[in-house]
Structure 1
Amino acid sequence: MKIFTLEEAQSMLPLVESLLKRAIDSKQAAEEIDEELSALARRIHLSGGMTVNVAKVAGQRSAMEKHIQRARESVAEIDEIGVQVKDLDSGLLDFPCRMDDEIVLLCWKSGETAIEHWHTMESGFKGRQPIDDRFRRRTGSGNIGSGNRPN
């Protein structure tokens, strides 16, 4: 697991925010197409059948799959960086961070201008607390299990 300092996490925000926006936009586009296809299926069912533009429907299904794949790829890129996507709908991200001898999560939500909260692994979003000086004095980073420890 990648461990971030507050400064590292802040510096990663523009990149992960861009990837997150791409994932959210792609998910929303796929959901819109899915709703259109569901509405068409309801109309067909209610009318007892109807003529359907098969090529158009196939194109919509293909576009929907492309949007879904793009969203998955964007989330995978964020994950590869070491950032955890907690809720795609609300744009909630967590950055693992070492505080004293404990791994906690720096918490950022889409729309926030900076990382200003953290929570324990167990407490989740409901346990968010404001960033304090304990995070600002950290300078090192590393990976758990690799022998690298932050300063």
Structure 2
Amino acid sequence: MDYQYTKHYSVEEACDLLPTLRNWFEEIDALTDRIREFDEFLAPRTNQGEDLGGTAPNQMIRDMARVHAILGVFHERDIQIMDLQKGLVGIPALLDEREVFLCWERTQPDITHWHPLNAGYDDRKPLWS
């Protein structure tokens, strides 16, 4: 059978990833907050044509590169970010040989729901009935 994703996680494997996913989202939050602060600081100066150099722009570029790298790890692992702000992800899995997403949001302690690949959060179903 042809599948859209090359990696499929068991519920146990996906649950084992949750501490790592939480850490990545926390790091992304901290970095994007700092990027936003840099942008608010730098934007008026660049709009006035000021030539900016130094530590602030360099740190902003490093922070943006780190966010990009973390997002790349999600991609490498076939984990789909559905909503970055909420920390909502779809983790590919096979349920009864059907390719689905295990649905998890970072406010949840565990993975308890799934939904078809072509559906969304509102269509999720409990893993155990």
Deviations 1:48-97 (A, max 9, x none): x8xx6955xx4221111111111111111232233222222221111101
Q: Supply the AA of the counterpart residue of 2:78.
A: G
Deviations 1:94-140 (A, max 9, x none): 1101111311100111221111221111112222222225xxxxxxx
> Secondary structure of 2:27's partner?
helix
Whether 1:26 aligns to 2:31 is yes
Q: Which residue of 2 aligns with 1:100?
A: 96
> Secondary structure of 2:86's partner?
coil
**Higher RCO (CA 8 Å, separation ≥ 6 residues):** 1
TM-score normalised according to structure 2 size = 0.81
Identity over aligned residues, as a percent? 26
Give the drift of 1:5: 0.9
Q: Which residue of 2 aligns with 1:36?
A: 41
TM-score normalised according to structure 1 size = 0.71
The question of whether the paired residues in 1 share the 8 Å contact of 2:46 and 2:52 is answered with: no
Measured in 2, the distance between the counterparts of 1:80 and 1:6 equals: 19
Aligned-residue RMSD, C-alpha:
2.2
Unaligned 5+ runs, structure 2:
1-5
Deviations 1:6-32 (A, max 9, x none): 111001111122122212321222122
Number of residues of Structure 1 aligned to a counterpart in Structure 2:
124
Q: Supply the AA of the counterpart residue of 1:78.
A: F
The question of whether the paired residues in 2 share the 8 Å contact of 1:20 and 1:75 is answered with: no
Measured in 1, the distance between the counterparts of 2:17 and 2:9 equals: 10
Q: Which residue of 2 aligns with 1:138?
A: none
Measured in 2, the distance between the counterparts of 1:32 and 1:126 equals: 34
Q: Supply the AA of the counterpart residue of 1:7.
A: E
Computing the radius of gyration from Cα coordinates, the structure with the larger value is 1
Whether 1:83 aligns to 2:99 is no
Query: Which residue, out of 55, 60, 66, partners 1:64?
Result: 60
